[in-house]
Amino acid sequence: MRAVIREIIETIILSLLLFVGIQFAVQTYQVEGASMRPTLSPGQYLLVNKIVYRHLNIDSGAEGAVRSGEFTEDSPIFPFHPPQPGEVVIFNFPNDPSRDFVKRVIGIPGDTVEIRDGHTFVNGEQIQEDYAQLDDFDEMEPLKVPPNAYFVLGDNRRHSNDSRDWGTVPLEFIVGRAWVRYWPPHQIRLFPTEHPFSTPTEASVEQP
C-alpha cells in the first residue's frame, strides 16, 4: 500500500513539475483585432515560445552593443538568440504593460528605419514585405533604434498601432516569439525562424 501511495505522490509531483516547466516555456494567446492581417486574424490562437529570448543583463554603466551578434561586456547575453528582423513577437505594450500586443520585428538595435510612400527602408535598403498589407501614403522620418530596443510594425499597416505611433519596444517588454498558430485546426501554421523579407534587389493578444 505504501508503494502505491508513494507512486501516486511521485506521479503528482512529476506532473506539477511538467506543468510548471511548460508554463515557463510556452504560453497560449488569443489574437484580437486586425492589425496583423493577413498573417493573423481575430479569434486565432497562438503558442508562444517564451524561452527563445531569455537573456542575462550585464551592466557596467555603458551602452550595449548596437547590432545583433556584436556583443560587448555591456550587452545582454542570449543563450539562444535575440529577436530577429521579421519575427512575430508578443510583448507588453510599453504605454500600458498590462496589455499584450503582437507585431513583427522590423528593426533591431542600431538599425535606422524609414518609411517612404508606404515602403519600409532599413539602413537605406528597401525591404520586400510580401506578407504585409501596406499603406501607400505612409511616411516616417528616419529613426535609429536604440540599444536593447526593437522597432515593430503590424502587417496590416493601415490598421495598426505600432512603433510609428509610440516608438520602440524595450527588450524587457518582449514576452516571446510566435511559434505555432494552432486554432482553428484548418489554419494551423508553424512560424518560420528564417528571415521572411529581403531587399528587392535580392531574389488575449491585441492588434490595435
Positions marked catalytic: 35, 103
190 strand-pairing partners: 180
Does residue 172 contact residue 147 with C-beta atoms inside 8 Å? no
How would you class 27 by CB atoms within 10 Å of its CB: exposed for 0-12, middle for 13-18, buried for 19 or more?
A: middle
User: Kind and range of the H or E element at 25?
Assistant: helix 2-25
Round to whole Å and give the CA distance between 136 and 167: 21
**Count of other CB atoms within 10 angstroms of residue 208:** 15
Grid cell, residue 76, equals 545582454
Grid cell, residue 43, equals 479569434
Angle at 26 between CA 23 and CA 193, to 5 degrees: 165
Distant-in-sequence, close-in-space partners of 93: CB < 8 Å, separation ≥ 6: 99, 100, 101, 173, 206
Grid cell, residue 57, equals 543583463
Q: What are phi and psi of 187, to 5 degrees?
A: -115, 25
